[in-house]
Amino acid sequence: MSEFDIKEFYGRYVDVINSHQWDRVGEFMADTVVAHGVSVTREQGIANFASITDAIPDLTVEVKQTVYAGDTIGTHAVHRGTPVQEWLGVPPNGKPIEVHEITTYKVENGKFVQMSNVWDLETLKRQLSN
């Protein structure tokens, strides 16, 4: 059995997100994932990801910084795209957005078991109100 490479794992995950391959997101998630302190099923997690690209069909994610500490990953990413539906409680205005996100992940047995993120909502609201 080969040693688990958490950096390679996360890189593949970002590639799947950027290619909008929602049928593959489940490869990275445990059966149940704790998201913001709430247990969600793999299927609920996949549906959440898919709902983001329903709102922002041209969504891309650029990872600016990643920190690895044992089984934990911390990231700063920038999400870009043009919303066509309400997203994070903000209605679209036809203009592209750029919103920063800080996320932490915990990995066990080669799968995400915990995810938590913080979005820069004030900047998003400002971009969509202009």
CATH for 77: 3.10.450.50
- 57 Cβ neighbours under 8 A, 6+ residues apart: 81, 82, 84
The DSSP bridge partners found for residue 111 are 108
Q: Based on the structure, what is the number of domains in the chain?
A: 1
Query: Quick one: 33 exposed, middle or buried, by C-beta within 10 A (0-12, 13-18, 19+)?
Result: buried
The residue range of the domain holding 120 is: 6-129
Give the pTM.
0.89
Summarised one tens digit per residue, pLDDT across range 86-126 is 888 888 999 999 999 999 999 999 999 999 999 998 998 88
Residue 1 covered by a domain:
no
Q: Is 12 a member of any domain? A: yes
Flag whether 117 is in a domain: yes
